[in-house]
Every structure is written in C-alpha cells, then in structure tokens.
Amino acid sequence: SHGPSFKDIAKEAAEKLGVQSTSVAIMGGGVIGGGQEVDAPPPTSSLKDEEGDDDGNADDASYSMSLLYGAIPSTAAATGFCVTNGGLPSSSSGGSMTKPPSYLLFADPWAPLEKIIESLEGKKQGEEEAKKFSPVIAGGISSPLLTPAGIVADNCDSTVALDGAALPRGSAVGISLTGSLGLQTIVAQGCRGVGPSFTVTSVASTEPGAGRGEDGMEKLQKGNVIMTLDNQPALELLQQVTERANDEDKTLLRSGWLLCGISEESASPPVEDTNIQAPRDFLIRQVVGLVPEPKAIVVGARVSVGDTFRFHVRAANTAKDDLKLMISRAKTERLFFSTGSSAGVPLAAVQVSCVGRGKGLYGRSNVDLEIIEELVDGAVAGSDDDDHDEEPPVAGFFANGEIGPVGLTGFGNDVSSGTFVHGFTTVVAVLSDFSEDKKKRGDTSSQPASSTFDDMEEDAWG
C-alpha cells in the first residue's frame, strides 16, 4: 500500500503530467492496470515502515499503483472538480441536446455522496425533466488504509486528490466529460434471480413519522418495508420461493445471502407458465430483516408501490456469469448501434470493483479484468497495427462502494436509470468518443495533450 505516501504521489504525478493536464487520484483497497488486478492486503509492517521490512526491502505484493492517462479528442472537454467543506458541485452545461454530460466521480467514505449525486443530476430541474436528461455518472468510494485494529491510519486521512492537491475527509473529486466525449457504463451486480417476479402492492416504513398503524409502521406509497407482493404477504411468498428453489439456491437463501432486486418497470409473467423471466436490470439491495407479523420483509432501500420485485442470491460463479452476460449485451448493443447517432468509439475504460470481489471471491486474480478487456480490446488508441501487443487500456481500483446506474447505459438510445451506490458489484466506465468523424471503426486517434510522457503521440491512452 502506498497509503502513507498518497499526498506525495498525487502531487508528483500531477507535476509529471504537466500544467495542461487534469488529474484525479484515489486510494483503493487494491489497484487494476497493466493487465493485472492487485488486491492483496498490505502486511501490518507496511503501516510502521512504508520503505520496507527490517532489512530495507520493500514487499512487492503490498506496494502497487496504477495510472491511466491519455489525450482527449479536440471536440471534447474534460474538466476536473472537487467537493469539500460541505460544498456541492453544479451540473455541467457542456452537454448537447442529444447527449447529456458524463461524470467520473470518486469520493471518500465521509463525503455527502447522495447530495453530490443529486446536484450533478440536476434534480432541482424537476424529477421528470432531470430523469429524461439524466447524466451518466460512474466511479467509486475510496478505501482508506486501516490499522490492525480496523481504524483509519493516522497518516491516511486524505484518500482523494485533484491536480496534485490531496483533500481532507468528507471530500470528493471528479471529471466532467462534455462535447463528444462521454461514458458508456456497465454495472454487473453479480446476482441471479430466484423464483418469479412480483409487483409491490403495499409498503410501510420503519422511519419515524406519524400515522402509524397497530403494527407500529406507517403505510406509505414508498417505504423500506414490503408488506405485500401481488396482494399476498411478502414473507409467505419468500417461504414459497425457498421451498421451490434448487438445493444450491436454498442453501444461499438460508445462509444470509438473501438479496432482492427492485425495478420501476412493470413485472412480466413467466414465459408459458415456466420460471423463465424476461431479461431485466434490477437494483440489488439487501434483505435486512423479517417481520413475522404482519409477515413483511425489510429491505435496504425505499420501494414504491407498483415496482417490480424479485428475490436474488449471490455466489462466485454467479458474479462471473453476470459480468460475462453484461459484457456480451454491451458488445451486441454497440454492434447494433454502430452506425447510429448513439455509437461511440472506446478509448479506455475505468474498472471499479468491490473489495469483496477479486482474488478473495474467485480464488485467483484478474477474473473480472479479463472479461472486461474483451469490450475494449483493440482500443489501444493511436494504433491500427494488428501486431500491437499492449494491454487494452483498462485501469481502476477496488472500492468501498461502487457508483453507477443500473445495467447498461450509453450503448444505445437508452438513458441513465439514475445513479446509485452499489455493493459487491463491478462498474465499468468506458470513455468513448461520440464525434461523427470517429464513427468509423478503428479510428481512435486523438489530439495529444502537452505531457512529459514520451509515448503520448503514439498511444493516446495507456
């Protein structure tokens, strides 16, 4: 871990990139880049002496850093911003009538993230108008270096930086992408549905408020307690789903891995009375409690009457299969819209994975990265040489929380579903050029920026 040296590293990187560059730096629970995921925790000794062990030899497994750099197209703009001391950013005015702005957003665990996202989404415009023109936001929450006691190390208060300036606790940094440059995002939840989908028909809330019934909960149009699904007690339906599940799913449902998927789309019936559901992207949240009377379930989100609901489970093989499916869908969407106004040429990708994934989940490193590289393979900018042997420009980190929409966004004519903080997911933010003169496949060249990196004109991203 380079945590104790974060401020110095961020400053030096910004100086080397040059004054005409914009840089953001984030401390992660591991890093991704150069075709590798490095998520091994640092040894306790690294907190005492960042230079190495008693013999002065650094532990290579605990010292890792990744840098993604590149030049943006001349038809685009990338503007850095920071949020600190309780301030809030304003939504960018650099979008177009056909494409809203995109934001890469990185926050520390103490930042007012929900308020920051609302500000960037322009919720003050009105919910319907903002939703129709909602920007694409993707990123993650930093992972401060912890002591063996589980508290933040004294010299690791700053975990995000903008243009070399490390910021205090409660801060966030980001880059606004406007003009022809934007994001195409993938959020792989790593779950699979169990049982059919239901329609939420009655909800309540455990939050303080008036008008509570005899059961102590307030009846609302939106709440965190699901009373009935398809007009039947929610807990009874969970019991039915569990009884009908296969042995593997039963074990997961009963072992604390019970999750739920929520969607604003209307529920569709299974195909020909089977358990096969139409494809749907769900926002995944934890089932946090059960209420025997009145046979309700408590979830980690506010759910509206009319939402679609489905029980989910999570496992290593499911996480891998889900990411493969999402990448396959993205490639299909890109192919289908390759000649339309929604086409984009990939320049690079930012991968933000939960600290709970990686080697700890799969038993080996690079599982998610290898799948993601398929989406941007051949996008090493500035090179049309088939013999180009560099790794696809994918870099990122392991986060304490992942930021992004639900499902796919930006690959077709779809609009953002809104921005959420996820858990146990992998978020892929593909930096894409949407300018008309880049629609020809393989044309990923960009105007090089002023930089001290010697290879910038040869490879626009790396």
List residues bridging with 174 in a β-sheet: 81, 105
For the cut 60, the answer to whether the pLDDT of residue 60 exceeds it is no
For the cut 50, the answer to whether the pLDDT of residue 59 exceeds it is no
pLDDT over 90 percentage in the chain: 46
pLDDT band with cut points at 50, 70 and 90 for residue 195: very high
| Residues in contact with 166: Cβ distance below 8 Å, sequence separation at least 6, in sequence order | 6, 7, 10, 11, 25, 158, 160
* pLDDT tens-digit map of 201-259: 999 987 765 345 445 555 678 899 999 999 999 999 999 999 999 999 998 888 777 89
Q: Is 198 exposed, middle or buried (0-12, 13-18, 19+ CB in 10 A)?
A: buried
For the cut 60, the answer to whether the pLDDT of residue 83 exceeds it is yes
Q: Which of 24, 32, 33 is nearest to 6 (CA)?
A: 24
pLDDT band with cut points at 50, 70 and 90 for residue 325: very high
Q: How do beta strands 420-422 and 401-404 pair?
A: antiparallel
Residues 37-55: what's their mean pLDDT? 56
Query: What is the arrangement of strands in the sheet containing 420-422, beginning at the earlier edge strand?
Result: 76-83, 172-179, 102-107, 136-141, 401-404, 420-422
Enter the tokens of residue 424. Answer: 């146990």
List residues bridging with 346 in a β-sheet: 432
Phi then psi for residue 200, to 5 deg, are: -70, 120
State how far the Cα of 22 lies from the Cα of 158, in Å rounded to an integer: 19
Phi then psi for residue 417, to 5 deg, are: -80, 0
